[in-house]
Amino acid sequence: MAVEVARVVDRVHRESWSTVLASVVRLTRDLDLAEDCTQDAFVQALRTWPDGIPSNPGGWLTTVARRLALDRLRRETTLRRKLPLLVEDPVAPGDVEQPTDPLRLVFTCCHPALARDSQVALTLRLICGLTTREVAAGLLISEATAAARITRAKKKIAAAGIPYRIPADHELSKRLDAVLTVVHLVYTAGHVAAGPDLTRTELTGRAVELARLLVRLMPTETEPQALLGLLLMTEARGDARLSEDGELVLLADQDRSRWDVRMLAEGVSRATAALDRGQGRFVLQAAVAGLHVTAPSWEKTNWTQVVRMYDAMMVSWPTPIVALNRAAAHSLVPGADLEAVLAEMDALSNEPALKAYAYLPAARADVLARLGRVDEAADAYDAAITLTANETERRFLTHRRAGLCA
C-alpha cells in the first residue's frame, strides 16, 4: 500500500502542484509560506493516504494546504495584517481554487519590477514544481545561479508588495513577452524532460492549458495565438516521437500517420492566422513548425524557407539557440556548404549559454558525419551524450555514435 500511495502522490504532485500552490498563494499572498504549506500537504498525504486515498486527491491537498496556511497566519498573529490584501480578490465561502489561479501566479512572477531572468526562474520553480536543478538545466545556467534568482525574486515580491492578480488591460502588454517566454519554457521542460522518460506530460499539458488561458484573456493579441499554435503542432506529433520499443524517433523518421490530425489542424490554423497579422518571435517559430508539419515528407521540406524564417528570427530575437537552429536548418538546404555550416556551429561553441547545451555537439556530430569526418563526429557525439539529461536521448545518441563505424 505504501508503494501505491507514493506512486499516487508522485503523480498528483506532477499534475496538481501548481494548482494547489496557486490556490494557497491566492489566500496568503506570501510565496514562501504558500510553498511551505503546499509541501507540508504532500507530506501529510504520504502519512495519511495509506488509510485510504481520497477520491479527489488534488482537492484534498488544496484544502489541507490552505488550512495549514491559515493556521500559520493565525499562529504568527499576521492574519489581521494580511486580510486587507484579500479585498482585491475576495474568496467565496467554500471556494478553494479558480481555473485562472495558475495564470495569476505566472503574471505575479512576471511583474515588471522583477528582472527578466528572475521572472523566468521563479515561474518555472513555482508553476511547474521543478527542482532548482531542473530550472537550471532549462535555463542553461548553474544550479547556484538559479537558486539565487529564485530567492531574489521572492524577496522582491514580498518587499514591493506585488499583488497576486491578473493585471488590468493596460498593464498586460508590459508582462506579455515574459509570460509567453515562461509558458514556452514550461512546455520545453516537459517536451524533453530530465530523467528516464522522454516527456513529462503534466508539464506539456499545463503549458498548453496556460496558452489557451492567455488566448482567452487576450484574444486580439497575435503572439499568444502563435504560441498556442506552435505548442499544438508540436504536441500533435507526440505519439510518433517514440517507437514501439520506446526509442526516440526524430522528425525525419516519424510515421506521420500517427500524428494527431485534429490537434495539428488547430495548430496550423492558429499559426496561419497569427502569421497574417504579424511577425513576432513566436509567430516565426510557429511558421517554422508549420513548414515542417505541412510538408509531404522530411525530404520535401522547404528548407530554404525554414532558413528564411530563422533569418527573420535572428533580427528580432538574436539568441545563440536560434543561431544554432538556423545553422542546422541551413545544413539541410540542397547544395549547402557543410564546411561553412560547421564553421558557424564551431563559432557558437564559444557562447556561454551553449556550453552545457547537448544539441550543439549533437548537431555538429551530424554535420561531421555527413562530411565523412568520422572520428570528429564520434567525439562530438561523446560530448552530447555527456551533456544530455534525458535517458531516451542518451540511448539515441549512443546508437548514432555506434552507427558511425557500421
Q: Both 314 and 368 in a single domain?
A: yes
Q: Both 64 and 123 in a single domain?
A: no
Q: Both 353 and 308 in a single domain?
A: yes
In this structure, is residue 210 part of a structural domain? Answer: no
Report the SS3 class of residue 206. helix
Stated pTM of the model = 0.83
In this structure, is residue 259 part of a structural domain? Answer: yes
Instruction: Answer whether 5's CB lies under 8 Å from 48's CB.
Output: no
| The pLDDT of residue 92 | 42
**Conformation bin of residue 77: beta by default, left when phi > 0, alpha when psi is -120 to 50:** left
In this structure, is residue 352 part of a structural domain? Answer: yes
Q: Both 405 and 328 in a single domain?
A: yes
Beta bridge partners, 360, equal: none
Distance, CA of 306 to CA of 284 (rounded, Å): 10
Q: Both 361 and 328 in a single domain?
A: yes
Average of per-residue pLDDT values in the chain: 88
| The pLDDT of residue 89 | 43
Instruction: Answer whether 187's CB lies under 8 Å from 205's CB.
Output: no
Instruction: Answer whether 234's CB lies under 8 Å from 186's CB.
Output: no
Q: Both 79 and 24 in a single domain?
A: yes
In this structure, is residue 88 part of a structural domain? Answer: no
- Per-residue pLDDT tens digits for 116-167: 888 888 888 887 777 888 788 777 788 899 999 999 988 888 888 887 777 7
Distance, CA of 354 to CA of 332 (rounded, Å): 22
In this structure, is residue 327 part of a structural domain? Answer: yes
Backbone angles phi, psi at 248, to 5 degrees: -65, 135
Instruction: Answer whether 164's CB lies under 8 Å from 26's CB.
Output: yes
Q: Both 118 and 41 in a single domain?
A: no
- State yes or no: pLDDT of 37 exceeds 50: yes
Instruction: Answer whether 121's CB lies under 8 Å from 182's CB.
Output: no
Name the grid cell of 354: 551553449
Count of structural domains within the chain: 4
Q: Both 61 and 120 in a single domain?
A: no
Residue numbers of the domain that contains 141: 106-162+171-194
Instruction: Answer whether 68's CB lies under 8 Å from 41's CB.
Output: yes
- Per-residue pLDDT tens digits for 94-120: 444 455 567 777 888 888 888 888 888
Distance, CA of 45 to CA of 53 (rounded, Å): 9
**Residues whose CB is less than 8 angstroms from the CB of residue 273 and which lie 6 or more positions away in sequence, other chains included:** 225, 229
In this structure, is residue 13 part of a structural domain? Answer: yes
In this structure, is residue 215 part of a structural domain? Answer: no
Q: Both 339 and 400 in a single domain?
A: yes
CATH of the domain at 331: 1.25.40.10
| The pLDDT of residue 406 | 61
Instruction: Answer whether 378's CB lies under 8 Å from 404's CB.
Output: yes
Mean pLDDT of 200-225: 90
